[in-house]
Amino acid sequence: MNDQHHRRVVRRPRGRPQRLPSDETPVATDQVDGAKRLSWLLATRRIMSPTVSTTRSQFAAHLRDREVRADPSRISRWESGLEAVPVRVVQAYEPATGALPGSLSAARLMLVRGGHLDDRLATRAHEPEPDDCLLDEVMEYVLAGTATGQQWLQFASELRRYDKVYLAPSTWQESTDRLIGELGRSAGLASLLRFEAAALMMGHATARAHLSRSVGQFALAPGSAPMAPRVLSVLGQAPDGASAELLLRMVSTSPPELSGAAAQVAASLIDQGHVAADSPVLEFYVGRTLARSGPGVLPRTALVDLASRLADPAFLRVLSTLEDVRTRRWLQQARTTQLLVDGDEARILTDHVAGHAEDAAGRAGQDPDQMLRRLVLETLFHVRTDRRDQAATLLLASPYAPHVGDVVLRLCGHRDDLIARVAWAAAWRLGAALDIEAVADQARGEVRPEMVPVALSTTWQSADALPPAFADHVATMVAAPATDPAHALAGVVSLGLNAQADHLRGLQRPDIAETTRWLLEAGSAIHH
């Protein structure tokens, strides 16, 4: 990553600093203020834009050039959350602020999909007439295998306008296979774009059948297990929880890596009422997995998330089987506060990360950005996986991303194992904005066995090339017979998705041979 860009300090024009919107909903509730979150994202993109003037008057002219009715007053209402932001306005902000094409639109869809943003208000006015040619145009890229994330999103959005789209079954299947294959190895905002495209397509009856088949084929393909969790999440987007029964069967009967991913998706369906909070399948899975963790070993945060969603009687039965006092207290605290660490400690670390990010972004001396603090808090410490994903995505789409990522990466070396663990998880989510040299240095210095896999996985999230010396180090580690199989698997994924095919071809480890072959066929990570 270009260091000058990575350390860029934004200089605001003179005048009264803009007060950014904040989300006042309690952290422990299921709902968030999606309108304020979207407004904050647009405001930060404009204020800190490296490509255009940040004044509302001049920015309004940029929007009018893109055939959007805009004036300073409208921009103020959009960026404060006082007025619903039309879809077309969100789309216009992307080229006007230098955002990745489609990324702000995908972030908006993420909020709508989560039930945090009313889509009806944003589509009543200011919308362009439907372009009947757009579906044909983007379909050419889809069928040619050259579609970008934005084009996948356009394809899915246009598809929803038609009850039936007539394509040969083989063409449908080829297209959905390609989308799911790309989703499995895409990183950062590229992953967001493809996931939101897949989520939209799950709402189209014809596309859904082919897409579900593609997910199943991907998840069951030999060697694909490390990339399966994100892909399986697509099943959770089926209307009316149509995939709930299938997911619960996978929890009961699949190998550990797939059953864990299926349990995580099933957990997200509890709040929607599609999976019962007292499901015997999920209760048994949580209890069995906790029992296998062993004394003194804290469970994965995804398991804590699932446990926190169980009905009270089921949760109490799980607790009654635990002998480890520390784990029992952690589960109780996470369920009560919806935070993975003590609330005071979470706030101290959040202020530390956000304060450094604001200074680096040129906001020193201005009112603290409370939305930034809220998103940092949720990215690091919220017990719900979907809330951590959502908050990290909004940060990643904002100009704060590299600055937040810098501080989070340093937290990965924290002496408290739990803090280090949540920091590594956040670094993975923000990896596309991180400097690969810094990530490689931090990963190489990580010696705690349970954190080595996520440290290695974080390296392929960056769009920058893997440093040659680090690639050699990982290849040597993977090839060593004494290396823990989980570490070797994470290492080979890092090499494969970082386009280190020569290193992969030289590996002779039977226990990861299937994943090695899969990576050689699939290709490197996607970042656009």
Burial 394-426 (b: 16+ CB within 10 A, else e): bbbbbbbbbbbbbbbbbbbeeeeeebbbbbbbb
| Nearest alpha-carbon partner for 283 in 306, 257, 256, 249 | 306
Burial 109-119 (b: 16+ CB within 10 A, else e): bbbbbbebbee
pLDDT digits (tens, 9 = 90+) for 71-124: 999 999 999 999 999 999 999 999 999 999 999 999 999 999 999 999 876 655
Mean pLDDT value across residues 435-451 = 97
Residue 163 has a pLDDT of 81
pLDDT digits (tens, 9 = 90+) for 126-170: 455 566 788 899 999 999 999 999 999 999 999 988 888 888 999
Task: Give the fold, CATH level 3, of 343-522.
Answer: Leucine-rich Repeat Variant (1.25.10)
In which band, very low, low, confident or very high, does the pLDDT at 269 lie, cut at 50, 70 and 90? Answer: very high
**Same fold: 30-122 with 343-522:** no
Mapped onto helix, strand or coil, the DSSP state of residue 33 is coil
Domain 30-122 has CATH 1.10.3470: no
Mean pLDDT value across residues 429-435 = 97
Mean pLDDT value across residues 255-280 = 94
Query: Residue 160 has what DSSP assignment?
Result: T
Mean pLDDT value across residues 346-353 = 98
The structural domains of the chain, with segments of one domain joined by +, span: 30-122, 134-237, 261-337, 343-522
pLDDT digits (tens, 9 = 90+) for 494-513: 999 999 999 999 898 999 99
**How far is it, in rounded angstroms, from Cα 330 to Cα 299?**
10
Residue 186's beta-bridge partner residues? 526
For the cut 50, the answer to whether the pLDDT of residue 6 exceeds it is no
Residue 10 has a pLDDT of 44
Alpha-helix runs per DSSP H in 130-187: 134-144, 149-159, 169-184
For the cut 60, the answer to whether the pLDDT of residue 234 exceeds it is yes
In which band, very low, low, confident or very high, does the pLDDT at 19 lie, cut at 50, 70 and 90? Answer: confident
Element containing residue 360 per DSSP (H, E): helix 343-360
